[in-house]
Amino acid sequence: MLDATKSLVQVDRAIVSDPTPSSEPSPESNADDATIRAHRAKPDFRLKLREVPHKPGVYLMRDRFNRVIYVGKARDLKKRVSQYFMPSRRMTADPKTRALLESIWDLEWHTVFSEPEALLLEGKLIKEYRPRYNVSFRDDKRFLLVKVDVREQWPRFRLTRMRIDDGALYFGPFVHSGALRQTMAFLRKKFGVLTFGRGSPSERELKSSTYQVPLRLADLSEEEYRQRVELAGDFLDGKSKEHLDDLELEMRAAAAKLDFERAAEIRNMLDDLRKTTAHTRKFTRLSLPSTVNPEDDIVLLCDALRLPRVPRHMECFDISNISSTYIVASMVCFRDGVPDKESYRKYRITSTNGQNDFASMAEVVRRRYSRVLKESATRARARQKTLDESAPIIGERDDSGAWIDLEASQEETLEGARRAGANLPDLIIVDGGKGQLSSACGELQRLGLHEIPIIGLAKEFEEIYRPGISEPLALPHSNGGLRLLQRIRDEAHRFANEYHQLLLKRRVAESILDDCPGVSKTRKKLLLSTFGSVARLRQATQEEIAAVDGVSARLAGEILEFLSKRD
């Protein structure tokens, strides 16, 4: 014990005598720093407790090694956290709580808007840190989601705990599982949609007006049912005020008639529906304030990749091709380690037939940086014209059709493009391995931007691929640089999937008449309002269709012929 004390004093003296830190600390110095932190005096929390607000949120407790040992939530942070440090708490606490109190060396908190948000954030933090004194949320169990597979002939609303990239629509997560199940029952009765189960409705579901939904599905067309699905989805998305107001009026009417049992039943339903449809932020790694240190992560990434400059401006590309119906891509931008959402871009892939990640990646990289060069060339040309109105415009178009100003890009180097005003990143990231990276590098080479650092991040093992190097780089999962790459990649993935689901949702609202030649949006609305559905339109005669405003006899015949081919 005496030897350990002497070594600690020697470490303190060494720090005082040499105040200039080394640029690359050795493992021994890191161990000494940990030893110093471990032997520092336990802080007094009385001043810190005065700063804790009376707001909902989560709190994190750390030990002397700065490890998170407990995560909790509270409706009132000040009241909840202050209880831990009351003198009487140590005397009445159980052994586990006393051990926690002895281990607390630091405290932090993060406020949210509501108690359900605090519960969501608490679960995310516990799953990430896995604190030793927490029991709940340490397993793989997640909050409930509602899944609607719009590719099914009769989409159903089902409960799930996993969000996967399968082209379906997902709503949630929802904190109150009981309230969510009551809401699902409300969706069946109010909107007449199917819940639970799989596949097309059975004969019993189609013909019965009491099983699952209080109407006969056999009387509905697929288009009419999909409209109901869209309305129910909007309700889960929070567009529920009108329906909730109607229920409240019904509750008040029941109370006025002294039917208190019915009024109480509606009141309980209203509580469940409000819990389910209340706006709640969805916390991800990007929104966990205690897990991100952007400045440090950027420096660590720069060192790991041996970049020529600190990557203050990074752009990441991702392809979403869940189905061949829509193939989309996203580009997200991070500046100084945080998202710059104003610079996000989304793309519909147009030159690729079928699912081809390599060709899709080449197209989106080409379109992105061709446009950047074009914009910088336009600005350079405007500056030149300001100086000399008689200056000729010299330029040409590349293979993709983008305009390249030869005067603004005489130097085919990265620095030359930047001097011309091109808003180019310090690092490009593509979601994928060697194939996606090679496709992107080929397009950069054609544009004269091959000097921009570029990497590929493979999802399976989180390996980093670099041009010209066959072996991937595998960083430790605790490395802040890798975590920064993961945040950027996950954000690009989220943005691409969000756009993909938006297109699919629009597809749900589309009618078969959108593909009929000669039928505009106005005519489509008139036809559907006149006949009610496409199924009834099929049964109409040519004369009946021609009686609609704006529809000639010839067009009516073409509509019937078109519908007959789409049976």
Per DSSP, the residues of 184-207 read HHHHHHHH--EESS-SSPPHHHHH
Distance CA 195, CA 229 (A): 11
Residues 348, 493 contacting (CB under 8 angstroms): no
Distance CA 126, CA 145 (A): 19
Architecture of domain 512-565: Orthogonal Bundle (1.10)
Residues 559, 531 contacting (CB under 8 angstroms): no
- Looking at residue 443, its amino acid is E
Sheet holding 169-174, edge to edge: 169-174, 144-148, 156-160, 194-195
- What's the pLDDT score for residue 24? 41
Q: What 8-state DSSP symbol labels residue 357?
A: H
CA distances from 236 to 167, 274, 369, 500 (A): 18, 10, 39, 19
Q: Collapsing DSSP states into helix, strand and coil, what is residue 550?
A: coil
- Looking at residue 477, its amino acid is H
Residues 330, 345 contacting (CB under 8 angstroms): yes
Contacts of 47 (CB under 8 A, 6+ apart): none
The domain limits of the chain are 2-39, 46-129, 144-277, 292-494, 512-565
For residue 317, which of 449, 477, 464, 427 has the smallest C-alpha distance? Answer: 427
Q: Which two tokens stand for residue 484?
A: 């920064």
Q: Exposure pattern of 253-278 as b/e (b: 16+ CB <10 Å)?
A: ebeeeeeeeebeebeebeebbebbbb
Distance CA 541, CA 293 (A): 68
* End-to-end Cα separation, the chain, in angstroms: 88
Distance CA 30, CA 11 (A): 12
List alpha helices for 278-407, DSSP H. Answer: 294-305, 357-387
The Cβ-side half-sphere exposure at 200, using a 13 Å CA radius, reads: 5
Q: Are strands 403-405 and 395-397 parallel, antiparallel or unpaired?
A: antiparallel
Ramachandran angles phi, psi of 331, nearest 5°: -130, 120
List alpha helices for 73-136, DSSP H. Answer: 77-84, 87-92, 95-103, 115-129
For residue 45, which of 17, 77, 86, 4 has the smallest C-alpha distance? Answer: 86
Token pair 């080449």 is at which residue?
362
- What's the pLDDT score for residue 407? 44
Q: Collapsing DSSP states into helix, strand and coil, what is residue 47?
A: helix
Distance CA 331, CA 549 (A): 45
Written as tens digits, the pLDDT of the chain (567 aa) is 334 333 333 333 333 333 333 334 444 444 444 444 445 566 777 778 888 888 888 999 888 878 888 999 888 898 888 888 887 777 777 888 888 888 888 888 888 877 777 887 888 788 777 888 887 654 445 678 888 887 777 788 888 877 777 778 888 777 777 778 888 878 777 777 777 766 676 777 666 655 455 566 666 777 777 888 887 887 777 777 777 777 788 788 888 878 788 788 778 777 767 776 665 655 554 444 444 578 888 999 999 999 999 999 999 999 887 655 678 889 999 999 989 989 999 998 887 776 788 999 999 999 999 888 888 777 777 776 766 555 444 454 455 555 544 444 434 455 666 666 678 899 999 998 889 999 999 999 998 888 899 999 987 778 999 998 888 998 887 688 888 998 899 889 888 888 877 776 666 545 677 778 888 878 887 887 788 777 788 888 988 998 888 888 888 888 888 888 766
Tell me the per-residue pLDDT of 436-455, one tens digit each, with 9 for 90 and over. Answer: 999 999 999 998 888 899 99
Classify domain 46-129 at the CATH topology level: GIY-YIG endonuclease (3.40.1440)
Residues 195, 156 contacting (CB under 8 angstroms): yes
Distance CA 442, CA 480 (A): 30
Domain 292-494 has CATH 2.160.10.10: no
SS (H, E, C) 488-521: HHHHHHHHHHHHHHHHHHHHHHCCHHHHCCCCCH
Contacts of 480 (CB under 8 A, 6+ apart): 293, 296, 297, 300, 301
Q: Which two tokens stand for residue 271?
A: 């509580």
Residues 363, 439 contacting (CB under 8 angstroms): no
Residues 143, 123 contacting (CB under 8 angstroms): yes
